[in-house]
Amino acid sequence: MTPVLPVILCGGSGTRLWPLSRSGFPKQFLVLSGDDSNQSLFQQAINRIYTVANNEISVGKAIIVTNEEHRFLALDQLRELKNGAQSIEATLLLEPTGRNTAPALTLAALYAQELGSSSEDPILVVTPADQTVTNPASFTKALVQSIAIAKEGAIAILGITPTAPETGYGYIKVRGAASGNGYTVERFVEKPNEATAKQYLQEGGYFWNGGMFVLKASVWLAALKEFRADILGITETAWLAKIEDHSGDATFIRPDKKVFETIPSESIDYAVIEKCPGSRFPIKMVELDAGWNDLGAWDAVWQVGKQDAQGNVSHGDALITNSKNSLIHASSRLVSAVGVENLIIIETADAVLVADRKNSQDVKNIVSQLEAQKREEKSLHRKVSRPWGWYDSVDEGERFKVKRIQVKPGASLSLQMHHHRAEHWIVVKGTAEITNGDQVIVLTENQSTYIPQGQTHRLANPGKTPLEIIEVQSGSYLGEDDIVRFEDTYGRS
């Protein structure tokens, strides 16, 4: 059997898909592709790799490289997935800070080598977490071919069949005709201007670089040692000082933070892949014609969505009349569009985006303005996911804030205290176990309690159904950073 390990690179913030994608809940965790699976891009990325399992290929435990902030988002979505009747297991490698994809893959390769026996050199199937394909069968076929190439010691890269003179992608130039061993890669070229991109399509032999690689863990580490020994050396040092902990059935591995922060920030392509043609590291390309899209902007989401007879794509509670070729995404209320054409309209509970489709790449400029103004809408939705559940800030004004809070069965918030606010809690559903200073009480539906300013407290759900409460905060400062944690199940104290 050929051992294969999925490596899902789960970083990035997806700023061009604001206001749905935010740094606290980026695009890879969103359901965007318009298929019937109702799965996020992250979940689709994992499932696609498991389809290659057959009598000759075994797919092992997935390796998810993500950051500390998103670990529980990834974990929750992993637990929703199934590989046949079995849950998909994964180890989460947590980057203390983003250093681009080369260090991320290096962490995965070091971990893979630790997993394997002395006779095993696992093949890594490396993919970003934020892409979609419309033809899964074609993807599986290309991936199986790539695994066969990697088994022989070469690096396989998936090259996307170009459908337009795109200027937002790098290109792969191949030489000669394809064989069972793929195309020979001649060189890589940077993102071209429009005239050059048109020339590439006319000439042929050029493919989009979608950032998907298949290679042995040992091959990556050897190539990195040759081309960027500095990245390898520092990453190895951070890895050797790693800390491992668990949350239920999940394994979290954290490289040393101070060392990791000193690693040069570099992509897989720049560090290694683009230097392979003509080197002692053979690199082959397998063509991928599977309706691939990286959903880099709202116009791309419109392209892959289910269009009606007038070319409109809608999601949620949307009413459309006399309109064409537009995307309307309603998250929390009714959105109506009358007599519009080629528009992007995205509604969330706290923000609305209206953009011309052809300018959808420029949404990043709005995000830059939000960052400059230090506005929360850049990072967080009104409804915020937490490892214990979520909270929704339903109203606020001078010296008060009202939240709706849901706590998962068996979960609890940290034992904490606030310097500047008091809180009233009203149970609306389920059972709440509340630590309030020296007292521990149990409240059920329609019962309430008061947490004085400066009082140590904790909220827990001892039941088997979700707990919901309404929290009313009052005080001189109501920011989320007014929390002193004394104990925390999720390693945040």
pLDDT digits (tens, 9 = 90+) for 243-260: 998 876 778 999 999 999
Task: Give the DSSP letter of residue 426.
Answer: E
Distance separating alpha carbons of residues 9 and 269, to the nearest angstrom:
14
Average pLDDT of the chain is: 93
Whether 84 shows a pLDDT value over 90: the answer reads no
Question: Where in 291-388 does DSSP place strands (E)?
Answer: 313-315, 318-321, 327-330, 335-338, 343-347, 352-356, 383-386
The pLDDT score that the predictor gives to residue 33 is 67
Q: What is the pLDDT of residue 36?
A: 58
pLDDT-based confidence at residue 82 (cuts at 50, 70, 90): confident
Checking if the pLDDT of 37 tops 80, the result is no
Q: Kindly state the average pLDDT of the residues 103-110.
A: 97
Distance CA 415, CA 419 (A): 14
CATH says 2-288 is which class? Answer: alpha beta
Could you give the angle at the alpha carbon of 65 between the alpha carbons of 251 and 147, nearest 5°?
105
**449 CA to centre of own chain:** 38
At residue 205, does pLDDT exceed 90? yes
**How do the domains of the chain map onto residue ranges?**
2-288, 309-368, 383-487
Counting residues of the chain whose pLDDT is more than 70, the rounded percentage is: 97
| 34, pLDDT greater than 60 | no
Superfamily of domain 383-487: Jelly Rolls (2.60.120.10)
Lowest mean pLDDT among 87-91, 190-194, 215-219, 234-238: 87-91
| Confidence class for position 191, pLDDT limits 50, 70, 90 | very high
Query: CB–CB of 394/387 below 8 Å?
Result: no
pLDDT class of 362 with cuts at 50, 70, 90: very high
Contact between 272 and 227 under an 8 Å Cβ cutoff? The reply is: yes
DSSP 111-176: HHHHHS-TT--PEEEEEESS-B-S-HHHHHHHHHHHHHHHHTT-EEEEEEPP-S--SSS-EEEEEE
Q: Quick one: pLDDT at residue 468?
A: 98
Cβ atoms 154, 282 nearer than 8 A: yes
The answer to which of 82-91, 379-388, 390-399 has the lowest mean pLDDT is 82-91
pLDDT category, 11, cuts 50, 70, 90? Answer: confident
Phi/psi of residue 97, nearest 5 degrees: -155, 155
Confidence band (pLDDT; 50, 70, 90) for 490?
confident
- Does 406 have pLDDT greater than 80? yes
> What is the average per-residue pLDDT within 362-375?
95
Residue 35 pLDDT greater than 70, yes or no: no
The whole-number pLDDT of residue 87 equals: 74
pLDDT band with cut points at 50, 70 and 90 for residue 453 = very high
For the cut 90, the answer to whether the pLDDT of residue 178 exceeds it is no
Q: What is the pLDDT of residue 370?
A: 96
Residues whose CB falls within 8 Å of the CB of residue 371, separated by 6 or more in sequence, listed in order? 378
- Other C-beta atoms within 10 Å of 206: how many? 20
**∠ CA 1-48-118, rounded to 5°:** 30
